[in-house]
Structure 1
Amino acid sequence: MDVFEIGDRPVGPGEPTFVIAEAGSNHNGDLEIAKELIDVAADAGADAVKFQTFRAEDLYVEDSGEVEYLDDDRSIYEIIESMEMPYEWIPELYEYCREQGVYFMSTPFDERSADELAEYVPAWKVASYTSSHHPFLRHLAGTDKPVIMSTGAHEMEEIAESVAVLQDAGVKDLALLQCVAAYPTPLEDINVSVVETLREEFGVQSGLSDHTLDPVTAPSAAVALGASVVEKHFTLDNSMEGPDHEFALEPDELSRMVEAIRKTESALGSRDKRVLDVEEELFEKARRSIHATTNIEAGQEFTEENVSVLRPGERQSGLHPKFYQEILGTTATNDLSAGSGIQWDDVDQ
């Protein structure tokens, strides 16, 4: 499970979580809104802004009916058609992202859209509903880019087949995202632990595509479990018209999410257990050691009445507590005042 790069950004163990701010189709067909979304993501500290690129005719059968969860009288075909991002936006959005210091990404849903994007994206994001489209996966694999693939609404056996297709087609850099295809996803159903399952089962990077309304809990939990990538939808305003605005994070929430991810990474720290610099004072003052509890004269026996295991505070520390039983019954070689830390030089061995 090697670290790989998206652009010049390392992704993988020991590296900061790659945060994708998912703008999706929340541009509402307005280029200026798309640029505002990029501004918000850059200000929040995201690594990439991701849109979605598709054509309804390449995505749904025309007489596709309605989808209940969208609460829209139009057919799903008509809704998807209204959400299409013009191909001519791609170079301009790419350049605007570059100016703002974030990577431009967009999820293609068909070969035609992938071809339009290929020159501009540093990695492919495969949507959950496309992850079992094997011919499309092979098409993406031919571009020699890293692949980040969501796994919502798929069983492990299907995911295994898709991973095999990608790897057989030459994909070396792959991350699988735990995802639940519910908009929004109830927090109790997000199953963040699958982040570990995917990594262990397939030996690739893993992460989370999160559709819960909570900006902090699931992303932070995923990072704690070793997520290399976290993705979450965002919008300028939840009240805007469109199917994906209602469950998306607003700008302040996106900032909170990125901040929580970075704080979680900071709190996870290193696997090395050692005494840290910030512990040094209490290491010296609060760890117990062997001290005289009364004045002790040279030649006097050490007993439970005149020595004890105490915190030294400002006094010099004595011997480690593990030697307490060993020195009981021995005699002092030096005069000791009450509170003195007992050293080996003070003990007649």
Structure 2
Amino acid sequence: MDSFTIGDRQIGPNAPTFVIAEAGSNHNGDLGLAKELIDEAAAAGADAVKFQTFRAEDLYVEDSGEVDYLDDDRTIYDIIESMEMPYDWIPELHDYCHEQGVLFMSTPFDKRSADELAEYVPAWKVASYTSSHHPFLRNLAETDKPIIMSTGAHELSEIRGSVEVLQESGAADLVLLQCVAAYPTPLEDINVRVVETLREEFGVPTGLSDHTLDPVPAPAAAVALGASVVEKHFTLDNSMRGPDHEFALEPDELDAMVSVIRDTQIALGSDSKSVLPVEEESYSKARRAIQASRDLKPGIEIQEADIRILRPGEKNKGMKPTFYQDVIGKEVTSFIPKGSGIQWEDLEGRPDNL
């Protein structure tokens, strides 16, 4: 599985998890609020802040009815229209993100919006509901930008078809995100193990787009399973009016999520098992060894009563317990005080295979 970069961030199995703070449309049409969201994401240590760029007429039919999970009497078309981010914000938000040290991203939901964003985003984010829009996927793939694609509300066979379209159209750098299209997602339905399933099935970096309410369990589990990317919605205040505020993280929760992601990855560490420098005192003082249970004078043959397998503490450390039977019957060649470790140089007849 190859690694690649998004902006100046490495993406792949051996890189730090790429954290996307999903601002979405939680700017509520206020540019100042959008910049405050960027400030909070930067302060939390996110790698990127992602907005959403769309036009209602390119997204929904006009007579679209209502959506049950939204507490809003307007049609979904009218709600989406009210959430549109002005195109002229794009360069300003890009520059402001750069000033704050985070990457600017925005999910395009239509070709017109993708064309407006192309100059300013280092990668494309494909929303779950767009992931089977094959003509649009081809358009994005032809730009040669990395693509991060969510997979909510799609079967594995459908994802396979979309991946084939992307790769056949030139998308070399692809990340697939496990996602459940429920807002919020119950913890028992987030199915973080799909992060592994997607990686094994498609051989690309994978991650999680999380809509659960808790900032810790699902992101931490995803990182433990090797997530290269974690994305989560955030807001300045859950009580704000708008469809995405209620299930989004508030700033202190976003900070907690980023911290647990970084700490989890640190804790995962290396897959190489060895005695570490931090274990040196325990290794030398607390690991059991073959120690003399009484003063042993030269010329005696060691019996079981003469030795014990103990922790040496500050005493001279003896051989590993695995040599216990080899030591029995050996002749002592130099004085060994009680409590001291038994070494081969203190004995006659060291085995040839040691």
For this structure pair, what is the TM-score category when the shorter chain's length is used for normalisation? Answer: over 0.9
Residues 1:113 and 2:113 aligned together: yes
Q: 2-side partners of 1:185 and 1:135: how far apart?
A: 29
Q: Name structure 2 gaps, 5 residues minimum.
A: 350-354
Q: Name structure 1 gaps, 5 residues minimum.
A: none
Q: 1-side partners of 2:210 and 2:70: how far apart?
A: 18
Residue pairs, 1:234-313, within 5 angstroms: 234-313=234-313
Q: 2-side partners of 1:327 and 1:142: how far apart?
A: 72
What one-letter code is carried by the residue in structure 2 that aligns with 1:315? K
Q: 2-side partners of 1:14 and 1:316: how far apart?
A: 41
Find the counterpart in structure 2 of residue 208 from structure 1.
208
Task: State which drifts further: 334-343 or 184-193.
Answer: 334-343
Q: 1-side partners of 2:5 and 2:185: how far apart?
A: 30
Percent identity reads 74
Find the counterpart in structure 1 of residue 89 from structure 2.
89
Q: 1-side partners of 2:323 and 2:278: how far apart?
A: 27
Q: Give SS of 2:19's match.
A: strand
Q: Give SS of 2:91's match.
A: helix
Find the counterpart in structure 1 of residue 352 from structure 2.
none
Find the counterpart in structure 1 of residue 195 from structure 2.
195
Find the counterpart in structure 2 of residue 60 from structure 1.
60
What one-letter code is carried by the residue in structure 2 that aligns with 1:253? E
Q: 2-side partners of 1:253 and 1:290: how far apart?
A: 52
* CA apart distance, 1:214: 0.6
Residues 1:218 and 2:218 aligned together: yes
Q: 2-side partners of 1:277 and 1:346: how far apart?
A: 29
* CA apart distance, 1:105: 0.2
Residue pairs, 1:163-174, within 5 angstroms: 163-174=163-174
Q: 1-side partners of 2:66 and 2:59: how far apart?
A: 15
What one-letter code is carried by the residue in structure 2 that aligns with 1:217? P
Residues 1:69 and 2:69 aligned together: yes
* CA apart distance, 1:112: 0.3
What one-letter code is carried by the residue in structure 1 that aligns with 2:33? I
Q: Give SS of 2:154's match.
A: coil
Q: 2-side partners of 1:42 and 1:337: how far apart?
A: 63
Task: State which drifts further: 301-310 or 222-231.
Answer: 301-310
* CA apart distance, 1:132: 0.1
* CA apart distance, 1:137: 0.2
- When normalised by structure 1's length, the TM-score is 0.99
- When normalised by structure 2's length, the TM-score is 0.98
Residues 1:47 and 2:59 aligned together: no
Q: Give SS of 1:308's match.
A: strand
* CA apart distance, 1:76: 0.4
Find the counterpart in structure 2 of residue 80 from structure 1.
80
Q: 2-side partners of 1:39 and 1:2: how far apart?
A: 32
Q: 2-side partners of 1:324 and 1:265: how far apart?
A: 41
Q: Give SS of 1:91's match.
A: helix
Q: 2-side partners of 1:77 and 1:225: how far apart?
A: 38
Q: 2-side partners of 1:295 and 1:344: how far apart?
A: 16
Q: 1-side partners of 2:158 and 2:345: how far apart?
A: 70
What one-letter code is carried by the residue in structure 2 that aligns with 1:222? A
Find the counterpart in structure 1 of residue 13 from structure 2.
13
* CA apart distance, 1:295: 1.2
* CA apart distance, 1:268: 0.4
* CA apart distance, 1:309: 1.0
Find the counterpart in structure 2 of residue 319 from structure 1.
319
* CA apart distance, 1:333: 1.2
| 1:217-257, Cα deviation, whole Å (9 max, x unpaired) | 10011001000000000000000000000000000000000
* CA apart distance, 1:125: 0.1
Q: 2-side partners of 1:345 and 1:169: how far apart?
A: 70
Q: 2-side partners of 1:8 and 1:251: how far apart?
A: 25
| 1:24-55, Cα deviation, whole Å (9 max, x unpaired) | 00000000000000000000000000000000
* CA apart distance, 1:334: 1.6
